[in-house]
Structure 1
Amino acid sequence: MWPFRSRLRRPRPATGHRVGSGRGLRRLARIGLAAAAALPALQAAGGARPEQTAAVALVVSVDVSQSVDDSRFRLQMEGIAEALEDPGVIAAMTGHPGGTLFAMITWADRAGLALGWRRIATRADALATAAQVRATPRQSGEFTCLGQMFRTVTASVIPALPVPAERIVVDVSGDGIDNCTDPDDLEAERTALLATGATINGLPILVPGENDVVGAGAYRAPGYGLRATPLPQERTDLAQWYGAHVVAGPGAFLLKAAGYGDFSRALRRKFVIEVSGLAAGKREE
């Protein structure tokens, strides 16, 4: 057995580690720096904070077909930009944790992603997005292919969301009915979009003397040559057609614009309703 001695020692003050001492403060500072250096690695490993989300993802979908000339296109882009600069809209978009995700589609014969997903969480974000909307070039196209737009949003826009969203809203505006798609196919494309969890709201632009009555007569459209497209040919007005073939999903609603000059006013109101989640039970205004 190895010999040993036991000595009782009077405890000494731990002066080298007291918080109030200079050495203690320096030691705590070193510990803090080491923890800060390790934080990114912890975050990358998924252990630092929960995944970010957004309350609302808003897809603004704009008709740019032949009936939308350069002047009307600019009115639409200016209307969207003005809506994004509106204090009420900014308050609604930035009032959620995580802000609002925003994307814009323009569509005619085909649909194109004009602005990819960006987060609007501050006033500066909203103003920057408005400037990008104003700078959007006009997309060429002759026909009003709403079904193509539904398919594009379903297949490539919603799957590209950068983070999960509690609600997805597709805001569709235009001055005419689909003149490209078989009615059954159009309904199938809308159903597929709704299956992603999206709500589709409508903003028909009513132009007296042009689209008072829709759905009557023959149309020349891609794939049909000079034959009439297989669209429903019942005579109706544009708002009713949007209500029947566009608007759908939880809390979906329709808000009419009285011409292109009224587009900005209608869109500002629509954005506030959509982003604030106030549309429950609404159908038409």
Structure 2
Amino acid sequence: MSGRLIRVAGAVAMLMAGLAPARPGGKVESVATALVVSVDVSQSVDDARFRLQMEGIAEALEDPGVVAAITGNPGGILFAMVTWADRAGMPVPWRRIASKADAAAAAAAVRATPRQAGEFTCIGQMFRTVAASVIPAMPLPADRIVVDVSGDGSDNCTDPDALEAERDDLLGLGATINGLPILVPGENDVVGAGAYRAPGYGLRPTPLPQDRTSLEQWYRAHVVGGPTSFLLAAAGYGDFSRAMRRKFVIEISALERKGEK
């Protein structure tokens, strides 16, 4: 679906729901960017890591450079946060951020997010939820939709073909998927080797990828996609806030990253 179709579909949905605010002249209001921040909360993410992620996102929303990027867009942006493990949820539903006060309120909502229970790293399930439930719930049409995926592991519960199909379905809605792999030395230097216990399947070989690879390479191959998509890694959880701030500015300002796909 093209960006124009996304805007038209969003406008129709709002008019049907009676939610579309109108500008003088009857034109439906819209935003340039709808940003979905999608965060891994699986078993490898303990309480300390979870809080570092929530604080990192909140700090990024409050950062003067990010606020300047947001307010530089006519009408601001749409923002939502998804957390995922065995399943995905949307603890911070869609909200419009058009001012410093709006950004502070969104940051407070992120900080107040409770820990979600979950064991497995089900990226394919998250893709499906974002495509089926999150994007259709957008309260305003947007020129572009960006899904920002962060995590510290490869998918360990989705069949390879199903994972690719779920990503393709999300990309087919006109979304761009960017990646923020969290690299933890000595812990996830290599992915795709060994075995895992998938829900309902018992112990079996890791399905993706078949060969040993780095998490950064795995994200490039199986997560990132769409127009102007890019990958920006965090050097551990302590670097998450810095990486997220930089990523937000690029995504919200629609800056093009060269050589980072």
TM-score, normalization: structure 2?
0.90
The DSSP-based 3-state class of the residue aligned with 2:196 is: coil
Q: Secondary structure at the match of 2:144?
A: strand
| 8 Å Cα contact 1:182-1:229 kept in structure 2 | no
Give, in whole Å, the separation in 1 of the partners of 2:256 and 2:226.
Answer: 11
Q: TM-score, normalised by structure 1?
A: 0.82
Paired residue for 2:167, among 148, 165, 190?
190
Which position in structure 2 is the counterpart of 1:82? 59
CA 1:166–1:214: 2 relative to 1, 3 Å: same
Q: Which residue of 1 aligns with 2:136?
A: 159
- Specify the alignment match of 2:97 in structure 1: 120
What is the alpha-carbon distance in structure 2 between the residues aligned to residue 95 and residue 67 of structure 1? 37
Alignment-mate amino acid for residue 199 of structure 2: P
Report how far residue 228 of structure 1 moved.
2.7
Deviation track 1:236-265 (CA, whole Å, cap 9, x = no partner) reads 000000000000000000001000000000
Please say if 1:261 is aligned against 2:234: no
Cα pair 1:252 1:282 within 8 Å, conserved: no
Size of the alignment, in residue pairs?
Answer: 242
Amino acid at match of 2:84: W
Secondary structure of the residue aligned to 2:244 is: helix
C-alpha displacement at 1:233, in angstroms? 2.4
Q: What aligned pairs does 1:83-98 form with structure 2 within 5 A after superposition?
A: 83-98=60-75
Structure (1 or 2) with the greater strand fraction: 2
**2:7 maps to what in 1?**
none
Give 1:103's aligned residue.
Answer: 80
- Partners in 2 of 1:197 and 1:45 — Cα distance? 24
Inter-partner Cα distance in structure 2 for 1:98 and 1:239: 34
Q: Distance in 1 between matches of 2:38 and 2:47?
A: 17
Report the identity percentage: 76
In the alignment, the residues of structure 2 paired with residue 46 and residue 142 of structure 1 have an alpha-carbon distance, to the nearest angstrom, of: 46
Instruction: Flag structure 1 segments of 5+ consecutive residues without an equivalent.
Output: 1-42
Q: Secondary structure at the match of 1:101?
A: strand
1:1-285 alignment, distance < 5 Å: 48-284=25-261
SS in 1 for 2:198: coil
Contact persistence 1:217–1:233 (CA under 8 A): no
